[in-house]
Amino acid sequence: MKFKKMLQATAIAAVASFAMGTAFAADLTVGLGSEPSSIDPHYHNLTPNNAMSANIFNRLIEQDDKQNLLPGLATEWKAIDDLTWEFKLREGVKFHDGSPFTADDVIFTWDRAPNVPNSPSSFATFTKGKTMTKVDDYTIRITTDKPYPLMPQDVSNVAIISKKAAENATTADFNSGKAAVGTGPFKFVKWTPGDVIELVKNEDYWGNVPEWDKVTVKPIKSGPGRVAALLAGDVDFIENVPPTDIERLTDNGDVQLSQGISNRVIYLHMDQFREDSPFVTAKDGSKIKNPLMDARVRKALSMAISRDLIVERVMEGVAVPAGQLLPEGFFGVSPNMAPEKYDPAGAKKLLAEAGYPDGFKITLHGPNDRYINDAKIAEAIAQMLSAAGIQATPETMPKSVYFKRASRGAEGGLPEFSFVLVGWGSGTGEASSPLRSLLHTYNKEKGFGSSNRGRFSDAEFDKLVEDALTTVDNAKREEMLIKATERGIGEMQGIIPLHYQVNTWAARKGIAYTPRTDERTQLEYIHSSK
């Protein structure tokens, strides 16, 4: 694949530039492709937000570049019986305001994380059904009603905040900096949405103190704009290099790239809970019963999309066609599921069987500033669907507007759109994260289906996922996750996987970054060669 060749070239470039030993100033300027929607680490379970919060706040357990678990604010953890996990906390850690970190902050965090008002995608999926208690100032325990082997993975997704600074604080208080007090490698200075985020080094950080005294983060929505800013020297480092620019940057001796496959799948959600779906009509514009509720129609949509063409023409070869939620090599991936074959004639036949021989009209909604080439992907899909008789209109918008509407824009706080382009990266590094968040029946109280914007629901699928989450035996749990994947996607067409992203970072020569499967740009891991 094209991206593998790029990986080889960028690895050589990294070695060469590191050998030069170029020295740099202690300040760093970074161009982000996607700005966080809040500094509040519990407001929105979204990669740009999680990446930024990791610079300011720590988790009890951290993840390395391959999502292996590492000690964080907890130095050790273990299951002390079938229903109880115990975590020993790191002593001597101070928050940015000098106050000590203790178990009280962890308890406070656990209570707040799933209950942030107006959250587009909450952290409840990691906290619900788990009761946290304090043993002493540096020991906490989490109990569950059933065995829960994935507790460390869940804990690694919840940022710990200061009870002193954040008690009664709102999301706005975090955005202003009033409550943005963490234990992380950088201290928050200010955020001007759409313009700049400023951070300074935490000299008293409990881990490795960052190299950079000050980091200025600039959101640069345009891919070509980020590349131009790097080449002009306006920024030192950028994320989400556009696929069209990768080859020429590889050949530029003043630039070095870092590249790796992501755990993020780009996929489509479909409205499966309303008979009268707001953005689906007959070809003449008249109302029809929602065709997306029929699995044959969902299968037809999948068959009408050429993933190979998206990868080749829209993504410039820098992506991998997807048939399920995670690429090969991750825990819980089915060996039996390949990407859907492009078959517009077969799609037409299925539509006719389902009672839609003439197709229908539909709007495909998506963001235009969140995923690599997201607006172009939506346009390409709309064109492909026309070959199967479906008149699709792409409509994209900034993610700050899109996610709110896609999650709760309709009356009663329901998802607004009928057909949406989204992406998901596994926060736990295995299949249960997307399965329970994207496809499990929506249940706010239990934290299931928190990002199930199509409201797919299937009792057999739900049972497989819930049983997997309580199965301690790894082999048995993986088998259940595979069966759930095959049921939810292969049989029921709950969502339509499109491709896995391959992510590319670029920096001026002598600055290096290790690619992360979770796609995060974490500032403490950007290094110069000095």
Helix (H) or strand (E) holding 476: helix 474-485
Sign of CA dihedral 65, 71, 73, 79: positive
* Structure confidence at residue 120 (pLDDT): 87
Q: How many CB atoms neighbour CB 143 within 10 A?
A: 14
Residue (of 42, 200, 211) closest to 127 by Cα position: 42
Amino acid 25: pLDDT: 59
- In order along its 530 residues, the chain shows pLDDT tens digits of 455 444 444 443 433 333 333 445 589 999 999 899 999 999 999 889 999 999 999 999 999 998 999 999 999 999 999 999 999 999 999 999 999 999 999 999 999 999 999 998 889 989 989 999 999 999 999 999 999 999 999 999 999 999 999 999 999 999 999 999 999 999 999 999 999 999 999 999 999 999 999 999 999 999 999 999 999 999 999 999 999 999 999 999 999 999 998 999 999 999 999 999 999 999 999 999 999 999 999 999 999 999 999 999 999 999 999 999 999 989 999 999 999 999 999 999 999 999 999 999 999 999 998 899 999 999 999 999 999 999 999 999 999 899 999 999 999 999 999 999 999 988 888 999 999 999 999 998 888 999 999 999 999 999 999 999 999 899 999 999 999 999 999 999 999 999 999 999 999 999 999 999 998 999 999 998 65
- d(C-alpha 226, C-alpha 198), whole Å: 18
**Class of 264-501 per CATH?**
alpha beta
- The single residue listed with the structure tokens 């329901």 is 414
Q: Are 518 and 265 within 8 A, CB to CB?
A: no
Residue 207 DSSP code: S
The DSSP secondary structure of 425-440, one letter per residue, reads: E-TTSBTHHHIIIIIS
Q: How far apart are the C-alpha atoms of 242 and 254, rounded to whole Å?
A: 18
The 3-state DSSP class for residue 486 equals helix
Domains 58-164 and 264-501 share a fold: no
Under DSSP, the state recorded for 418 is S
Distance CA 94, CA 89 (A): 12
Confidence at residue 122, expressed as pLDDT on a 0 to 100 scale: 87
Q: What is the phi/psi pair of residue 190, to 5°?
A: -165, 160
Amino acid identity of residue 170, one-letter, is T
SS3 390: coil
Buried b (16+ CB within 10 A) or exposed e, 274-307: beebebbbeeeeeebebbbbbbbbbbbbbbbbbb
CATH number of 58-164: 3.90.76.10
Whats the size of the chain, residue-wise? 530
- Strand 361-367 versus strand 391-397 pairing type: parallel
How is 73-131 classified by DSSP, letter by letter? SEEEEEEEETTEEEEEEPTT-B-TTSPBP-HHHHHHHHHHGGG-TT-SB-SHHHHTT-E
In the chain, where the domains are located: 58-164, 264-501
The DSSP 8-state label assigned to residue 488 in this structure reads I
Contacts of 421 (CB under 8 A, 6+ apart): 266, 267, 268, 364, 365, 366, 367, 371, 374, 377, 378, 381
What predicted TM-score, i.e. pTM, was given to this entire model? 0.80
pLDDT at 5: 47
Give the 3-state secondary structure of 260-310. Answer: EEEEEEEEEEECCCCCCCCCEECCCCCCCCCHHHCHHHHHHHHHCCCHHHH
* pLDDT at residue 329, rounded to an integer: 87
